[in-house]
A and B are shown apart, each in its own frame.
Chain A
Amino acid sequence: MNIYVCIKQVPDTETKIKLNADSSGIDLAGIKWIMSTYDEFAVEEALRLRDKNPGSTVTVLSAGPARVVDSIRTALAMGADNGIHIDLPETADNNMAAKALAGALKKETKIDIVFTGKEALDDGAAQVSQLIAEYLDAACATVVLGTEYSGSSVKVRREVEGGAIEVIEAPFPVVVAAQKGLNEPRYASLPNIMKAKKKEVKALKAADVGISDSDQKLRFKNFQLPPPKQAGKKIAGDPAAQAKELARLLHEEAKVV
């Protein structure tokens, strides 16, 4: 089985975001970069599927500047077999990234299944999985909590809303976007981290996968930090008095209840 995982490198969630001098982006200095959290579930799912199907391989792809190779190495250390890095500018949008990933996948001889995270922790757009599926003319299932494989299809459980679960069946090739809860991602062991350093990461340029400037459809600009909040009202008294005053303020002043 030919299994692929598309991952994105993002700032660690502890990062305090600062803007650059002209507010055209964030200040990248001092950021600790990690594999986006949901992608860890995607990698884990790929490894488990491979291990149940002898002879299968897991290839990890990421599109972005040179630094993203570190996150590909993280996935290799978790146990993926090989990697592909597509060099894209820092400012590439979802469409360009998805088209580049799909372009690299199209160079492969056969694709059975592509795993991704359900969204990335930086832009939170939740677009790339569906866009890859469109560009590959593949089936797609997003926000996946459970999988049941049979032959060349998969039945997935998707989280929809209010706790509802949608069950859909999709034939290979399929893009499956993982939600937290799909599995428990493993940690990379030290020997595997050492081994990962020797695994191959193929380097592709944007032009190799048919990407040009016109594939960028959106640009983020005029970055702003959230305005500082005014100090709120502290409500004093015993719990009964606090509750009574708070209910009154929510009703009369804030008018939200």
Chain B
Amino acid sequence: MAKVFVIAEHRDGRLKKSTFELLGASAAAGNETHAILLGDGVAELAKELAHYGAQKVHLIQDAALKLYSSEAYTKAITPVLKSASPDIVLASHTPTGRDFMPRVAARLGVGLASDCTQLAFEGSKIKARRPVYAGKATVEVEFLGAGPQLATVRANALGAPKPDTSRTAEILNVTADLSGLKTKVIEVVKGASGRPDVTEASIVVSGGRSLKSADNFKMIEEMADVLGAAVGASRAAVDAGYRPHRDQVGQTGKVVSPALYIACGISGAIQHLAGMRTSKVIVAINTDAEAPIFQVADYGVVGDIFAVVPALTQELKKLKEH
């Protein structure tokens, strides 16, 4: 059994599904599971952390934590970890987790295993595996030296746990010294789409250059909206200006592992495959039966995307309506 700390992540007043994955996995392994919850006016969220397995919630509330800042998070989290001496500290490998966790690792003088896609608890240690070369290979991470083991875990890697609403947690209020911060967060400008981020979504619908225009991505967006999915794109589609770079899936974009990845009109360059091949179920729709994307697809449709994609959207809509 290990003493595990999970750094909870929330945005717009809601906890991230990826935080529940970490808590669920730790609790299921029988660990002493703590959460650190940071923000301003977020006490209510502690209950939900308990439902997913947190036995103790270290609650750090401060006006300086209202908007996320890597510096403020680092400064608030580090003393809690130093005094509690956990065996393992976990955060999600989201834009937030990957930003502050290296700084926490530096202050604790320990290593951080980033972007783990497999994680198991063995006694007071973790056994972690992560991709390298954007998934063209994976490695086991060995921690050298003493101190807690830190890891960030890719969203969707551990599977969604079921909440138990009868569980409660002890709330420990912690005061943080957040004076002397160097950086100042001025504002956060929200994205317009309202769709989930491509790295966190459990379903991703992606389009390639065969879409022929930015306008034609509407049919990809329509399917994504039926499924509650994120929209992704190949590098070719991004370079052609059909989508912004933040949607790019592949070695020079985002690396994703959703439950379902639907590739529409994507041929499957080695860099693209590297970015999505760990998806649990892969669908490829492409006119070219020889396209490399079919080598990794669980379900392949050789056909014209302009005919198949709208038809599939209609079929999925029917399924959702039942």
Smallest CB gap from A173: residue in B: B182
Segment among B164-172, B206-214, B311-319 that sits at the interface with chain A: B311-319
Tell whether A239 pairs with B192 under 8 Å between CB atoms, given A121-B134, A130-B106: no
Report which of A13, A135, A166, A254 forms a contact with B270, defined as CB distance below 8 A.
Answer: A13
Contacts of B14 in A (CB 8 A): none
Q: Judge if B3 is at the interface, Cβ distance under 8 Å.
A: no
Contact B299 A167 (CB under 8 A): no
| Residues of B close to A207: CB separation below 8 A | none
Give the residue of A143, A162, A232 whose beta carbon is less than 8 angstroms from that of B191.
A162
Task: Check if A242 sits within 8 Å of B311, measured CB to CB.
Answer: yes
Question: 1/0 per residue B44-72: CB within 8 Å of A?
Answer: 00000000000000000000000111110
Q: Is the CB of A235 within 8 A of B299?
A: yes
A180 touching B182, Cβ below 8 Å: no
Interface residues of B in 80-95 (CB under 8 A from A): 94-95
Whether the Cβ atoms of A19 and B227 lie closer than 8 Å is: no
The digit string for B88-105, where 1 denotes a CB below 8 A from any CB of A, is: 000000111011101101
Q: How far is A121 from B70 in the complex, measured between Cα atoms in Å?
A: 23
Do B137 and A242 have beta carbons less than 8 Å apart?
no
In the complex, which residues 225-245 of chain A have their Cβ closer than 8 Å to any Cβ of chain B? 225-226, 229, 232-235, 239-240, 242-244
From A61-69, A74-82, A215-223, give the one contacting chain B.
Answer: A215-223
Per-residue B-contact encoding for A113-149, CB less than 8 Å = 1, 0 else: 0000000011111111011011100111111000000
* Chain B nearest Cβ from A42, distance in angstroms: 14
Give the contact-size bracket for chain A.
Answer: 35 or more
Q: Give the shortest distance, in Å, between B80 (CB) and chain A (any CB).
A: 18
Name the distance in Å between B179's Cβ and chain A's nearest Cβ: 15
Q: Which residue of B lies closest to A134 (CB)?
A: B106
Are A222 and B301 neighbours in the complex by a CB distance under 8 Å?
A: no
Q: Smallest Cβ distance from B138 to chain A, in angstroms?
A: 5
Q: What per-residue 1/0 map shows which CB atoms of A143-173 lie under 8 Å from chain B?
A: 1000000000001000111111111111100
- Interface residues in B244-298 by Cβ distance below 8 A to A read 244-246, 251-253, 255, 259-260, 270-271, 277-278, 280-284, 294-298
Q: How far is the CB of B199 from chain A (nearest CB, A)?
A: 8
Interfacial chain A residues near B112, Cβ < 8 Å: 94, 125, 127, 217-218
- Complex CA gap A254/B259 in Å reads 10
Query: Secondary structure of the B side of the interface?
Result: mixed
Which residues of chain A are near B136, meaning CB under 8 Å? 15-17, 225-226
| B interface bracket (residues with beta carbon within 8 Å of A) | 35 or more
Residue from the list B95, B182, B193 in contact with A160, Cβ < 8 A: B95
Alpha-carbon gap, A170 to B71, bound state (A): 11
Q: Measured between C-beta atoms, what is the minimum distance from B182 to chain A in Å?
A: 4
| Residues of B135-189 contacting chain A, CB below 8 A | 135-145, 182-189
A217–B110 touching, CB < 8 Å: yes
Could you say which of B70, B132, B311 contacts A243, with CB atoms under 8 Å apart?
B311
Report A4-45 residues with CB < 8 Å from chain B CB: 11, 13-17, 19, 26, 37-38
A-side contacts of B295, CB under 8 Å: 229
Does A246 count as interface, using CB distance less than 8 angstroms? yes
Interface pair A168/B185, CB less than 8 Å apart: yes
Contact of B252 among A180, A217, A235 (CB under 8 A): A180
Residue of B133, B199, B246, B294 touching A163 (CB-CB under 8 A): B246
Q: A220-B139, A242-B303 are in contact. Are A169 and B184 (CB under 8 A)?
A: yes
Provide the residues of chain A in CB contact with B105, threshold 8 Å: 95, 127, 131, 217
Contact B277 A226 (CB under 8 A): yes
Q: Is the CB of B281 within 8 A of A250?
A: yes
Complex Cα gap A16–B200 (Å): 27
Whether B195 lies near A162 (C-beta < 8 A) is yes
Closest chain B residue, CB of each to CB of A252: B319
Please give the distance in Å from B88's CB to the nearest CB on chain A: 15
In the complex the two chains form, is A214's CB within 8 Å of B145's CB?
A: yes
Smallest CB separation, A15 vs chain B (Å): 7
Contact (Cβ within 8 A) B99 A240: no
A-B contact pairs, 15 of them (CB 8 A): A11-B133, A13-B270, A131-B106, A139-B71, A140-B183, A143-B95, A168-B185, A217-B111, A223-B139, A235-B301, A240-B311, A243-B311, A247-B315, A247-B318, A257-B203
